A and B are shown apart, each in its own frame.
Chain A
Amino acid sequence: MLTFNILLVACVAYAAFLFLVAFAVEKRAERGRIGWLRSPVVYTLSLSVYCTAWTFYGAVGYAARSGLEFMTIYLGPTLVFVGWWWILRKLVRIGRAQRITSIADLISSRYGKSNLLAVIVTLLAVFGTTPYIALQLQSISLSFAVFAADTRNGWEMPDLAETALWVAAGLTLFTILFGTRNLDANERHNGVVMAIAVEAVVKLVALMAVGAFVVWGVAGGVGDVLERISAQARPEWTIQPGRWAGLTFLAAVAILVLPRMFQVTVVENVDERHLVTASWAFPLYLFLMSLFVLPIAAIGLEILPPGLNPDLFMLTLPLSLGQEGLAMLAFLGGFSAATSMVIVAAIALSTMVSNHIVVPLWLAQRGGAAGDVRSLVLNARRVSIAAVLALGYVYYRVTGGSAALASIGLIAFVGMAQVLPAMLGGLFWRGATRVGAAAGLSLGFAIWLYALFLPSFGAGVIMPTSLIEAGPFGIGWLRPQAMFGVTGMDPLLHALFWSLALNALAFCAGSLLSFPGPLERVQSAQFVNVFDLPSGARSWSQGTAEAEDLLVMAQRILGASEAQAFFHEAARAQGKAGYLPDVTPDFMEKLERRLGGSVGAATAHAMIAQIVGGSFVSVEELLAVANETAQIVEYSNQLEAKSEELERTARKLREANDMLTKLSVQKDAFLSQISHELRTPMTSIRAFSEILKEGADLSPEELHKYAGIIQDEAIRLTRLLDDLLDLSVLENGQVQLHVQDGNLRTLIDQAVVSSNSIAPERRFVIDRDHAAENIDLHTDTGRLSQVFINILSNARKYCDAKAPRMDIRVTDRGETVQVDFTDNGSGIPGKSQALIFEKFARLTDQMQAGGAGLGLAICREIMNNLGGEISYVPGQGGAAFRVTFPKVLPAAGLPAQSDGDAQEPAQAGRGGASA
């Protein structure tokens, strides 16, 4: 016979066993021997927190009341897991890449790390989860009561409230012990997860044992059971299409958004590939959990006395048939289901409450001066766990277990479902914004409170009956359970429909109308395009690995010996040997400051945060990093520009130096040329003047001849000096131009006549086009004819043709005139063409009269001064010189203004024509 004491002992022993499992696993994980602890099977089993006491006890009751409808609660999640490729895969990837700690953190992180959204989601979660925790406490108390009700054994009816209190206290202890060992909420709680996996097995085994007993022990096999089910069927068991679809949808949403499900699916996930296994294994688990629900319900209805709570058939059925061992197993199964849910929900809620409410408040109070945040966060989490459980207990005491188990579960589902639009929008829509999410969440939350949660306590308890009947202020279309005149709907579906529809509407409208901030846009890209980005999910989770990672990083920044010395020093200060100190906040602060000296404060912070994890980078920090980087880039750009400039300067200097060297060589050559040119006539003048001086016996003819030679040489000398002077004046630009009117034909006539004196014995044919030459000029005609004479004289001197001939072609180019002088000689060889305009450039050695080699150099200078140029045109069949010059010499030597003058009349003409 089962006594209360035996039950209590079994219960405590089971709890102790769980403690032991969790403890052993934590120890094992600490030694780094994770191995099979992180297998996909454990992951799948941990997902079974979805099956709470509501499933274990409530599903049978649900089936007894509504037939197959209980299946919707498991079919929804089955669809989500079978279709894992759509949502779960992305969710898990984001959760790992962004180090998400809870569903509130997910929403907050997606929308620019907005704490407002995190607070809204946290509140929603607390509202939605507290009744659920109360439900678990209630189920444990009720199951105790079932055994106590069996008064034959003579034990007293235990105080239900007291039982619940003890259970709550035990759960608080367990959760705090194993749920807050590590600061990093993203780190897996190995002990907790393993305990939950064990509990998952226990509840599955218990349910299937009871089911098998019912099918093959009580009934005569499958066929018999089906017949009995058919016999027990009631009209309420008929599937209602609306509820069938709505509840399936609701359960599908719940598996995504319930805080405890998010905790085990996303936060506790260590390997994305586990999801692939879970995609079939978890639906299979749900399948097995549901398989025997209907048979148990049907047989219970058949053989148990009417009026018994169908929610407890799992216990009362074996008990009434004298199967106390089975009843004990079922009790432990229910106990497992309840405790695992409470533990995970408490961890998830406490993470949210501490991270998004307690710590921000505390930091705000302390003015942002962060002291020992680590212990603060841990303590906040511990307090939150106690508070969450206390809240659940208070809720249980206040409501007193009035409602049926299932209904409150669904109400909680609808509450959490409000997160769906913001979550899916955040996952798949870049345009979703914080404003939209806040609007949708708040509106959905409000409608849920108004249309479902508050009325669920019953008319007149919190909401006045008049309000439910007639609407606020008598406004009929705002009645909580018949909004906008929709009266034909089930209250739950009604609330689900309106809250989610208006929520989604507000979310979309808010997103479309608002503009996201910079961090929001960064995050939206990180979330929506998570698969396109390189996976940044590295595991810095192991405590021992952290110091080493920090050392590796510090070595990179400080240099090996310096970093090692720093770490060694820190380790010695902590009383440790070796190079790896404990990663205390104090040490981190020192290290950060030390690194900050090298890479800038913001970068150092971000780097350490990346290794240690958990802490997030604020926009200010990002901007600081960006600024530092920008400064460095700018500095390096400046350096580069400077070095380029230096290089340019050096090149210029080198060029200038080359030029100077060349000029110096040129000057030397010029001087030696001049000396040579001056010396030749001087020598003959000296010689003949000496003859004249000494020889008195010279005949008058000889006297005349020698004096003539001296005179000729003196004249040549003078001309040479004149040329040099002329060239120097022209080169310095100091020449005085005598500008006057003239005609090109006259100038050429004069030049031809003048040049005839050179080598008069040669007969030249001059080919001219007199008509084309008739161009009026306004320039220094004297200088211009000097150029022509020089060219013609050169032709007479150097043209080596038998029948020499000169073509003079004049081309009128509007502003300028081009005159080509082409003879029929052999021309100037290519390599010499560049030299002919240089001083003292003579192509032949033969000394010709008056040829000092300055003629063409002077011509070039003259043409420069007249605003034109002289050039040699190769390939014309002989020596060809082209002289180009403006018809009208520009006043200050600037030929630029003429353009404007020429355009004006043309424009005026066009204007007139169009008018």
Chain B
Amino acid sequence: MKKHIFIILALQLMLLVGCSSNDGKAGKGTLYKQYASQPALTVAELSNFKLNDSITVNVVMVQADSDESWQKLKDSLDIRGTEGSVSWLGNIDNPAIRTTWNGKPVTRVVASHPRHTVGFYRIDNDEQYDALIDYQLNNI
């Protein structure tokens, strides 16, 4: 009887470890928290978005639920125009501030007017920076 209980407990433990290993960092980032608390915005944080076989980045996506919230989001990020997509490298603490790559963490911001969506791709190192560019070039 003890043997059977031990087997069941061992299997349950294995299952538990398998499930809990999926607990990541999504939903804990500053950017996610900042937008998730705002009304009329749907926010998702995706950990480990795969750029190639070995490089991943964390992405926060903010989707405006209405024209009004989209306009407000655009204003907060200083996004102009009404068509297509725009992209820039943003300051890690304030993505509205445009910056250049100097090896320090930045955010690649991609705003899509038709989708009413902004994606924030966090870049921490040269490998991620290069992989993101390759990902875009390879998918044109």
Chains A and B come from one and the same complex: no
User: Which residues of chain B have a CB within 8 Å of any CB of chain A?
Assistant: none
Interface residues of A (CB under 8 A from B): none
